[in-house]
Amino acid sequence: MNQHLRGDPIPFIDIAAQRRRLGRAVDEAVARVLAHCQFINGPEVAELEAALAAFCGAKHVVACASGTDALLMVLMAKGVGRGDAVLCPSFTFCATGEVVALTGAVPVFVDVDEASFNIDAASLKRGIATARRLGLKPRGIIPVDLFGQSADHDAIGAVAAAEGLFVLDDAAQAFGASYKGRRLGGFGVITATSFFPAKPLGCFGDGGAIFTDDAGFAELLRSVRVHGQGSDKYDNVRIGLTARLDTVQAAVLIEKLKIFEDEIAARNKVAERYAQGLGNVVTVPCLASGATSVWAQYTIRLPEGTDRDGFASALKAQGIPTAVYYPKSMHQQTAYRDFPVADGGLAVSERLSSDVISLPMHAYLDEPTQERIIKAVRGYFSV
Ligand SMILES: Cc1ncc(COP(=O)(O)O)c(C=O)c1O
């Protein structure tokens, strides 16, 4: 149903429209699980892992309970802990740095690039030096493919190789995006994603997955996923978690993955229309060379001096929701402000936190509804 009639509230993400498109497919897939009753580690879990691997080109996929668990499991499998430092961008969702702190290691926050919102390689190098100066042992880098756009993996990989660090790509928002023609998760870098319902590929609850080309590491992750099991689940050879993906969620994802490619194309069309309609009014997101996006968010920057709350209220009054990701960068959050930041500071992250705002974005945003959003944004700036 179009939401282009004046005043009708527009959903920020239209999960119901996707439900309508999928028809009975998801319901029937869930019903099959309810019938076979293998709610834990049922056949759909392995089927999904194989389908995800085929989709992105990864050799091994380990499904798990959430994007946060996906990140944490990798750090646990890498043996990250006290005295270690892991570098991550500050302009991200809190889970990126949270998992580092959970292991007892220290997240060292680095700045992002003003155009792509993704990790800035120069700040990353400064962050590594900062960690060493503080007596910490840099172990790894967690780049984030923010808002759905791939980070600059060549630049990050070069720093990691020079410094002997592992890379754990936080693609929670970006599964389906590609870097230099290859899908995230499919070019050898250990990659974690989330299937939270609002993500480009979301399930009907919590879910996540890890992608790796290393068979031994995948086995380690499978052990961490179930209490550090060894030869069987009552043989505990390491500290682990309960981090399995429910069979029901796997069944949902198998069906959703079948239309994902088409949804990615639709999201890109929506992004193009926004760029055309708003490019001369606000700063619209731009794709870095070699990177594609699945547009988890369509995040614009408002002209200097704009009252962001006033802008959001004006759109809200016209039935148009907006959201601010993220009003504070991680190093500005109460829980994280005592952790170190890269020498030179994080000026870009701080600026972005004060001027970004995200517009409705999903694969089912029809043209008339989008016109209404574009008109409202332009109207606010009287153009
Ligand atoms: C960048 C990033 N990392 C990690 C996560 C954590 O994923 P989950 O909510 O599935 O635990 C999210 C989820 O919002 C995210 O956006």
pLDDT at 6 over 90: no
HSE value, Cβ hemisphere, 13 Å, CA-based, for 246? 15
Q: What is the C-alpha to C-alpha distance for residues 325 and 173, in angstroms, rounded to an integer?
A: 12
DSSP 120: P
Q: How far is the CA of 95 from the centre of ligand 1 (A)?
A: 6
Q: What is the C-alpha to C-alpha distance for residues 281 and 379, in angstroms, rounded to an integer?
A: 10
Compute the mean pLDDT over every residue in the chain, rounded to the nearest whole number: 97
pLDDT confidence band for 1 (50 / 70 / 90): very low
60-109 pLDDT, tens digit per residue, is 999 999 999 999 999 999 999 999 999 999 999 999 999 999 999 999 99
If one residue of 93, 195, 293 were mutated to test the ligand 1 pocket, choosing by the most ligand atoms within 8 A of its CB, it would be 93
Q: What is the C-alpha to C-alpha distance for residues 239 and 221, in angstroms, rounded to an integer?
A: 11
| Four-residue CA torsion sign, 120, 291, 174, 163 | negative
Q: Which residues line ligand 1 (CB under 6 A)?
A: 66-68, 92-93, 95-96, 144, 170, 172-173, 194, 196, 206, 208
CB atoms within 10 A of CB 6: 8
SS3 call for 149: strand
Q: What is the DSSP string of 253-316?
A: HHHHHTTHHHHHHHHHHHHHHHHHHHTTTSB---PPTTB-B--S-EEEEPPTT--HHHHHHHHH
Do residues 289 and 179 make contact, with C-beta atoms less than 8 angstroms apart? no
368 exposure class (CB count in 10 Å sphere: 0-12, 13-18, 19+): exposed
284-337 pLDDT, tens digit per residue, is 999 999 999 999 999 999 999 999 999 999 999 999 999 999 999 999 999 999
215-270 pLDDT, tens digit per residue, is 999 999 999 999 999 998 899 999 999 999 999 999 999 999 999 999 999 999 99
215 exposure class (CB count in 10 Å sphere: 0-12, 13-18, 19+): exposed
Q: What is the C-alpha to C-alpha distance for residues 371 and 3, in angstroms, rounded to an integer?
A: 10
Mean pLDDT, residues 149-170: 98
Provide the whole-model pTM: 0.97
Residue nearest to atom 7 of ligand 1 (CA): 67
How confident is the model at residue 4, as a pLDDT?
52
56 exposure class (CB count in 10 Å sphere: 0-12, 13-18, 19+): buried
Residue nearest to atom 10 of ligand 1 (CA): 67
Q: What is the C-alpha to C-alpha distance for residues 102 and 95, in angstroms, rounded to an integer?
A: 10
Do residues 354 and 323 make contact, with C-beta atoms less than 8 angstroms apart? no
SS3 call for 21: helix
